[in-house]
Homo-oligomer: A and B are copies of this chain.
Amino acid sequence: MPGSGYVGKLGADHLIDLFKAKKVAEYMCESFPPQVNVKDDGTAETPRAELYFASLKKSHDILVFTADAQPTTSEGEYELSDAVINFAKRIGVKTVYTLAAYITGAFTSTPRVFGSATPKTILESLSSKGVTIMKEGGISGMNGLLIGIASLRGLEGACLLGETSGYVVDAAASKSVLDALSKIIGTPIDTAKLKEKAEETQKVISQLQSLSAEQAQEEAQQPRREQRPGYIS
């Protein structure tokens, strides 16, 4: 789902490309933003959510869920989550993983991966693969609801949250999350493309930080008002 830093969205799209997954279902939702999105070929499309299927060699098959938008109402989020989990259950999915962002407000070169899951038994497998288990807080939006409703429907669910500043589209956080997922499901996931993208972003951040440092020096001599880093995408 599109969200902070596009951590989950980048990850899901990467899986679809990497495993050449095929679209098997499409959802339109009355609480999606009422608009069409114009694509670079000039055509327009209503926002939609999609399920892609791929057969993996060394593990279970996977079903990847991705969407152009999040529903704008609670009711919409519950209904879409419910529809997706029902579909997944019907075709035999056992475990639902959602990929999300864990926002810290600070830049880091080695993003950690946080996690929460249900039932409790999955937590040990997450923990043994380097995932930091959350002890409090909430996971809002569909990344949370999908595992919550999965649990109510008798499926296992885990949310993996990549540490991110929240200021940039963060391919490094996506990479960390997919690396963790790879270990958990025991299937190699090639994240080279995300690494490239992360390095480009890192360059921009470094430039901004050195610029910031210069400004800080200037300001030390000549004090000014509060400044916040901008939003880079």
Contact = CB atoms under 8 A, between A and B. Distances in A.
Interface of A: 28, 30-46, 72-75, 77-79, 115-120, 123, 133-142, 144-145, 147-149, 151-152, 157, 159
Contacts of A37: 137-138
B38 A138 contact: yes
Q: Which of A38, A77, A117, A151 has the most CB of B within 10 A?
A: A38
Given A135-B38, A136-B38, A152-B28, A119 B43 contact: yes
A35 B134 contact: no
A79 B75 CA distance: 13
Nearest to A46: B148
Q: How many copies does the complex hold?
A: 4
A75 B35 contact: no
A44 B79 contact: no
B42 A149 contact: no
A74 B31 contact: yes
A117 B159 contact: no
B140 A35 contact: yes
A115 to B, nearest CB: 8
Contact of A33 (B46, B118, B136, B140): B140
Nearest to A120: B43
Contact of A45 (B118, B135, B141): B118
A75 B140 CA distance: 21
A74 B41 contact: no
B116 A36 contact: yes
A78 B36 CA distance: 11
A169 to B, nearest CB: 16
B117 A44 contact: yes
Contact of A134 (B38, B134, B135, B141): B38
B38 A139 contact: yes
A159 B39 CA distance: 14
Nearest to A75: B30
Contact of A145 (B35, B118, B148, B151): B35
A44 B74 contact: no
A141 B152 CA distance: 27
